[in-house]
Amino acid sequence: MITFITAAELITSSERISNPAIIVEDERIVAMGPRHSVETPANARTIDFVDAVLAPGFIDLHIHGSAGYDVMEGKREGLEKMCAFLAKHGVTSFLATTVTAEIGVLVEAVERLAEQIGNWKHDSSMAVPFGIHLEGPCLSMARRGVHPEAHIVNPSMELFDRLHKAANGYLRLITIAPELPGALEVIREATKRGVKVSIGHTNGFEQDAVNATEAGATHATHTFNAMRPLDHRKPGVLGKILESEALSAEIIADGVHVDPIVVELFLRCKGKERAVLVTDAISATGMPDGKYKLGSFEVTVKGPRCEWEGHLAGSVLTLDRAVRNIMQFSGWELGDSVRLASANPAEVLGETARGTLHVGGRADIVALSRSGEVITTLVGGRQSI
C-alpha cells in the first residue's frame, strides 16, 4: 500500500519543513519534502493531519514494562499490550530492559525476549521491541538501587558469553559499573561484538569513567540516579559523564528522579546532541495506583512515585510526557525536545533507519500538537491511534 501524508509541519531532526508531504511504501519513506514538490501517487491512501507537526517516532532505550506487563515475564500477550500502549504515547521502537535476577532466571528471561523479538509481527501498528538492554547484574553493591543484593555479581567473560548467547543477536545495550573487577575486559569484548555499553549503577570515580570510555563505553544510564553524587573536589563518574563529549547520557525527566533545575543543568552540559530521554518505566505505567512487579519483586506505586522499601524503583513516565517536561523545565522548543527522544537514542545504538525521517528510512512517525501532545502514531506507516 502507498500512503500519502500531509501536515502543517515536519521535523526531520535536522530541518523543519512547512506544509510537508511524505510518501510511504512498504514501511519506508520513498519521498518527502514541501507539499508543492511531492507529487501525489495514483491510488494512494491519503492522510492529512492538518495542524499537526510530524516528527520521528520515539525510541525508548530503557523501559522495563507498562500496561500491567513486565518484560521479564515473557508472555506474548502481555508484550503486545505493552507495545500497543507505547504506540499511543509516540513510541515506535524500544529496548526491552531487564532487571537483576538470579542468573538462571535472567538467562531464561533473555532467551524468551529474544524469541519474541525474532518472531515479532512487523505488519502491526504497535511499537516494535527491536533489542534488549541488560541492566544488571554487574552493578555496584553501593549503588544497586532496588536491584536485588543477592544477585549482584562481578562481570566476567563467562557470564557475558552466556547472556550474549541467550540474546541470540538482540543484545543491543548493557549497563555496567566500570569500577568492578573484570568490567573493562567485558566492555572491550562487548564493544567488539557490536553491543553498546553504558556506565551506570556505579560508585566509581572520574578515572573509572575515563577507563570505561577508553575501553569502549559510549553512554550513561539514568544520569544522577544510582551514581556517586557530584563533589566539587572529587567529581567522580558523574562529573566525567557531564563533561565528556565522548559519552551520551540518559535522564528520567519526570520531576521525581531528578529535580527540574538539575534537568536543565544536565541539558546545558550534554546539549542537544548527547542528551537522551528515557522512561525507566515499569509495569505500573498506564495503570492505577497499587502494587506491581518489577522483575522478581513487588513495587508500590502512588501517583508519580514507584517505591520498594523507600527507594525509587523505576517510573510511570511516558516518553511523550518526558518531551513535554523538557519543554516546560528548560524552555526548549518542540523540535529540540523531540530530538532527545528520537535521533539521539538512535545515535546511541548506531541506528540509521530509525530516529530521523529521511528517504529510505522507516516510516516511524508521530503526529504531535505544537505543545507535544500525541495525535497519532504511525509504525512503518501503519496508523496506531
Q: Which residues are catalytic?
A: 280
Long-range contacts of 80-85 (CB under 8 A, 24+ apart): 80/126, 82/127, 83/124, 83/126, 83/127, 83/128, 83/129, 84/126, 84/127, 84/384, 85/285, 85/286
Q: What's phi and psi for 123, nearest 5 deg?
A: -100, 15
Straight-line distance from the first to the last Cα atom of the chain, in angstroms, rounded to the nearest whole number: 18
362 DSSP assignment: B
* Distance (Å, whole) CA 244 – CA 21: 39
367 in helix, strand or coil?
strand
User: Closest Cα partner for 319 from 363, 239, 377, 244?
Assistant: 377
286 DSSP assignment: T
* Distance (Å, whole) CA 368 – CA 51: 9
65 in helix, strand or coil?
strand
Number of neighbours of residue 142 by Cβ within 10 angstroms: 11
CB 237 within 8 A of CB 224: no
Alpha helices by DSSP H, the chain: 76-88, 103-118, 157-167, 183-192, 206-215, 236-243, 260-274, 319-330, 334-339, 343-349
* Cell numbers standing for residue 70: 513486565
Query: Which pairing describes strands 53-56 and 20-25: parallel, antiparallel, or unpaired?
Result: unpaired
Angle at 158 between CA 152 and CA 159, to 5 degrees: 30
Long-range contacts of 240-245 (CB under 8 A, 24+ apart): 240/206, 240/209, 240/210, 240/213, 241/199, 241/209, 242/266, 242/269, 242/270, 243/269, 244/209, 244/213, 245/274
* Distance (Å, whole) CA 63 – CA 57: 16
Number of neighbours of residue 103 by Cβ within 10 angstroms: 14
